[in-house]
Each structure stands twice: as structure tokens, then as C-alpha cells.
Amino acid sequence: MCGAFVRPPVPFVRFLPTAPGVTASPSPTTIAAAAAAIAVAAWRSARRRRQSAERLAAATLESLLNAIDANDAETGAHVRRVADYALVLAEAAGLPSARRREVERVALFHDVGKIHEALFDLVHDDDGLSPQEREAIATHPKRGADVLAPLCAFYPELPDGVVAHHERWDGGGYPNGLRGIDIPLAARIVAIADTFDAVTHARRYRAGSDPERGARVIQEGSGRQFDPSLAALFLSPPVFAEIRRRMEASARAEARERTAPANPRPRTRGRVSRGERRARQRETPVPNVSFRWRPAVAARR
């Protein structure tokens, strides 16, 4: 018959009559207490809503990283190595924990734009790319930032860092031609880690170079492609020794994964055409991805 009783936001205030027909007014203390109770209740409610939204945003990032793994295991492995190296450099630079987490997020999602359908085949094509195809691939920072833009309220640094990770210290990068310290710090750190991994890690069409070759590339780009102070820090003996150790640990882990029997992929020699790759993707079941948010060494800290 009647709706459920709804508890009022603050307790009832009972007033005792002082004389027949006369009701006492609430005291200033009572009014202040009631106002404080309303304010506390509103604050707690807003905090719960905010915490719920933050958990949803974090889960969205985890799901997106799992999607990268499932759609493109090679890119998934690459961004984790880049995040590992970037965290070493960020810690050496003395960044506080919150800033290091920002660097980590930018590193993990810097290539999310490459899994766009318009770019996927180009990125994984073993043939040489035409100038038009190279221009298309150069859109991946902007595409990635667009993917991450809905999470800007929770991770404001993420789209800005992702869109800027191919900017250059001398202003010759893309997509916006930023120069020097106008480039977000996280993007400057990720640019060094990304280039080092690109040089040292093997690709389908070439073998990876040794760490010394990667160090020379960073040194040659210092002051032109890379922030010179960060490049010098990356190449300093203690930091570079840790980078080398992380690189070797990653290589061992990937070697173990290649020998694991679960979800074997058919291997063929020679180049694979785009049509064959698409057919193989339709036939191969989606792997059972185990999400790993942080590198094992960093997670223990």
C-alpha cells in the first residue's frame, strides 16, 4: 500500500515544549550539528562515487591492455619492455611515485593507436612501406590519444603523453612539432625507452642489436631527438647496467614463453601476406591472456 519508509538524511530533532502551546526553536548548536551531518553525508557519498568511478577507469585500462595482448602479442610485449626501461629511468630521475606511475601508463599505452584496423597490417607488413603508408603509421600517436581521451578525467597525463611520444627535442617530431620542455616529461622518458627497445629487440625481418648499439643510438640522438639530460642519465653506468639487466631478464622470460606448449601458433617460413595473416587471425583462438600490469621487479617495490 505505502512506499518503503525512506530514512531522512539527518536525525529528527525533537523539541520539548516549554509551556502549553509554545514550541522551542532549535538552538544554533543543533542547526550547526545538522548542517555538519549533511555535509559529511554528502562528502562520503561523493567519495564513494569517485572511488567507484576510479576503479572502473582502472579496470578499463586493464581491459584495454589485455585487448592489446590478444590482438597483437608483439606490441603487447614491446610496450611492457618499454615500461620496464622507462620506470628505471624515471626512478633514476628522482620522480615521486605518482609521477612514475604516470610514466608507466604512458609507456604501456604509447602504441595503442597501432592496433587500429587502418594501421594493423601496415605495422606488421614485412615489405617496405610507401611514403603514403609511412604517413598513415605516423597517425598512431593521435589515434592512441583519441582512444584514451574518455579517461582523461582520471588520467589527464595519459592522452598528452601518448600523443607526444614521437616528438623530438629539436622540434622536428610529430604530430605537433613540440620542442624541448614543451614535450611532456613522460613522453620524453618513453621516447628514449621506446627507441632503445626498437634498436635492441629482434623483429621478424631483422635481428636485434646489442645494448651497446642501442646506447650509441641514444647518444647520437641526445640534444636532437632526446632530452639531453635524460639521455645522459639513461647512459650513466649504474642506470645503463640496470637497463641491461632488465633487457636480459626480459629475453629469458620471452624465451621461456616461446617454448611453452600452450596455445601454439602455426609457424611458417618466409614472408606472410596480409591476406594470410588475416585468415590466420580468424582461425587462431584468442589466447587466454594473463594480465601483468607492472614488471615483476617494479611490482616488488
For residues 185 and 197, give the distance between their C-alpha atoms in angstroms, rounded to a whole number.
19
Residues classed as catalytic? 114
Amino acid sitting at position 252:
R
- CA-to-CA separations, 285 to 28, 178, 246, in angstroms, rounded: 69, 42, 31
20: preceding bond cis by omega (within 30 degrees)? no
For residues 242 and 173, give the distance between their C-alpha atoms in angstroms, rounded to a whole number.
28
Amino acid sitting at position 170:
D
Contact 295, 249 (CB under 8 A): no
CA 16 to chain CA mean position, Å:
61
Residue 73: which of 295, 243, 296, 292 has the closest Cα? 292
| DSSP secondary structure of 199-251 | HHS-BTTBPPPPHHHHHHHHHHHBTTTB-HHHHHHHHSHHHHHHHHHHHHHHH
Looking from the CA of 191 toward its CB, the CA atoms found within 13 Å total: 29
